[in-house]
């Protein structure tokens, strides 16, 4: 089997997430349908991560395994001709036969974008918060999240039973860019809804409703509190998937200039 490595961007608003689902529109399913029309039915397509319903990607990585050889550029153009406008294959390259988009990924980074102003055009890409947020309190929470912790309190109950909830966060950072607050989290892997619940807790701290001792208790023992404050999927972007030799890039926001308008 031949392998091709794909880098893909998508607007996840109208999809039920990355993973193929019965009777539901998914990113993976849409890509498989397009790939079969070009490469035939005997293909395999796997992604590096399973983004949830409504979550976007700036650079999701996937691989296609096929018996048919094509020039990467021809395959890219063929797929993009068949795909809807809200999914775009940015790059395709030949990959080693043993390459696996998920198993070989070392780290993943996510961006979460909060807007300080109401926006009609950017609503599907941000979480608008009208309350004034205390940025110093939010930074205090970020310091608590860094490092190796049990994030059981931040995982959805439907997370795989028996799977470890221990995660090492390589970096957590927050930046104010214009009227946006951008949170970036880099880790080896993420639990289901973990990033959205972390951001929700940061925001509650910024509202002065939660304090560092509260977050320490959530990390020390299972708590239902983060589930109550799960941030909406609209502001979440899978930013980058890192493989051996890759390093996190400087933060680059989605090309959405309307987000900066008032």
Residues that are catalytic = 52
d(CA 147, CA 167): 8
- Do 173 and 110 contact (CB within 8 A), yes or no? no
- Do 262 and 133 contact (CB within 8 A), yes or no? no
Tokens of 162: 């028996």
- Which backbone phi and psi does 142 adopt, to 5 degrees? -55, -40
Residue 176: partners with Cβ closer than 8 Å, 6 or more residues away:
135, 182
Question: 53: exposed, middle or buried (C-beta count within 10 Å: 0-12, 13-18, 19+)?
Answer: middle
Question: For the residues of 185-227, what is the DSSP string, one character each?
Answer: EEES---TTHHHHHHHHHHHHHTTS--HHHHHHHHHS--SHHH
């Amino acid at each position: 089997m031949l392998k091709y490595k794909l880098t893909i961007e998508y607007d996840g608003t109208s999809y039920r997430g990355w993973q193929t689902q019965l009777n539901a529109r998914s990113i993976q399913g849409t890509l498989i349908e397009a790939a079969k029309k070009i490469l035939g039915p005997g293909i395999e397509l796997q992604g590096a991560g399973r983004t949830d319903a409504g979550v976007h990607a700036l650079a999701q990585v996937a691989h296609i395994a096929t018996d048919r050889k094509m020039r990467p550029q021809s395959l890219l153009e063929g797929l993009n001709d068949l795909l809807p406008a809200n999914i775009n294959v940015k790059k395709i390259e030949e990959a080693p036969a043993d390459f696996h988009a998920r198993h070989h990924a070392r780290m993943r980074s996510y961006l979460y974008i909060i807007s300080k102003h109401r926006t009609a055009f950017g609503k599907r890409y941000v979480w608008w918060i009208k309350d004034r947020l205390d940025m110093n309190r939010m930074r205090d929470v970020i310091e608590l999240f860094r490092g190796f912790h049990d994030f059981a309190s931040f995982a959805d109950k439907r997370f795989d039973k028996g799977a470890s909830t221990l995660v090492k966060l390589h970096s957590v950072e927050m930046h104010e860019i214009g009227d946006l607050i951008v949170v970036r989290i880099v880790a080896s892997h993420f639990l289901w809804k973990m990033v959205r619940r972390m951001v929700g807790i940061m925001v509650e701290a910024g509202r002065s409703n939660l304090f560092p001792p509260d977050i320490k208790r959530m990390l020390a023992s299972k708590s239902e509190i983060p589930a109550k404050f799960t941030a909406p999927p609209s502001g979440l972007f899978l930013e980058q998937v890192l493989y051996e030799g890759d390093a996190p890039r400087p933060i680059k926001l989605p090309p959405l200039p309307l987000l900066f308008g008032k």
